[in-house]
A = this chain, B = another copy of it.
Amino acid sequence: MAVRHERVAVRQERAVRTRQAIVRAAASVFDEYGFEAATVAEILSRASVTKGAMYFHFASKEELARGVLAEQTLHVAVPESGSKAQELVDLTMLVAHGMLHDPILRAGTRLALDQGAVDFSDANPFGEWGDICAQLLAEAQERGEVLPHVNPKKTGDFIVGCFTGLQAVSRVTSDRQDLGHRISVMWNHVLPSIVPASMLTWIETGEERIGKVAAAAEAAEAAEASEAASDE
C-alpha cells in the first residue's frame, strides 16, 4: 500500500512539473509572438513535451493562454521588510523586475492588454493585483503606516492601473529599459498622499531597490526549495 501511494505521489509530482513546463513555454511564445501568431508546435518544441501530454493538461491554445493568465499573481512573493508600506513599494519593484525577466508576467500583460480576435478580458489579472495591493494597504493602515482616509481597495486599484500604464508606455518607448526609473517617479508622486509625511524618508523608492528586492526574493525562494528537498 505504502509503495503504491508513493508511486501515485511521484506521478502527480511529475504531472505538476510537466504542466508547469508547458505553461512557461506557452508564456515565452505568447510573449514573443502574441496570441494570434503563436503556434502550438512552437510551444511543444520549447516545452519538450508531446502533443498528447499538452492536450492532457490544456484542450486548446486558448486554454493555454488562460493558464498563463491564471498564474499572474502566483510567482511574486514579496520578502518581509518590517514595514507593510515598504512591502507595497517592493511588490511593484518585483513585478517591474518580472516584466523584464519572467515570461509569465510578460505574456500575461500582453494577453490582457492586446485587443485581439480572442477576448481575454474575463481572465484579466488586474482585479487580483488590486486585491493584493489592497491587502497590503489595509495591513499597513492597521499599523498606522497608511493615512486613515485611504480606501485600500480604491488606492490598490489605482496603483495597479498606474503601474500597468507605466510599463506599457515604457515597453513602447524604451523596450522597458526605463521601467525602474518610471516606477520610482510614480512613488515620488503617489506616496505623499498615502503614508504619513514622517514615513516618506524611510521608505526606499529609488530604482536601485529593484535589484535588492529581487535578490532577497530569490534567496527566500532558494531557501524554501532546499527546505522542501530536505523534507523528502
Contact = CB atoms under 8 A, between A and B. Distances in A.
Interface of A: 34, 36-37, 110, 112-117, 121, 124, 126-127, 154-155, 157-158, 160-170, 172-173, 182, 185-186, 188-190, 192-194
Contact of A168 (B157, B164, B186): B164
Interface of A is mostly: helix
14 contacts: A36-B36, A121-B173, A126-B173, A155-B189, A157-B169, A157-B182, A158-B166, A160-B169, A162-B162, A164-B169, A165-B167, A189-B194, A192-B193, A193-B193
A34 B117 CA distance: 9
Contacts of A186: 158, 161-162
A166 B162 contact: yes
B169 A126 contact: yes
A172 B113 contact: yes
Contact of A172 (B121, B182, B190): B121
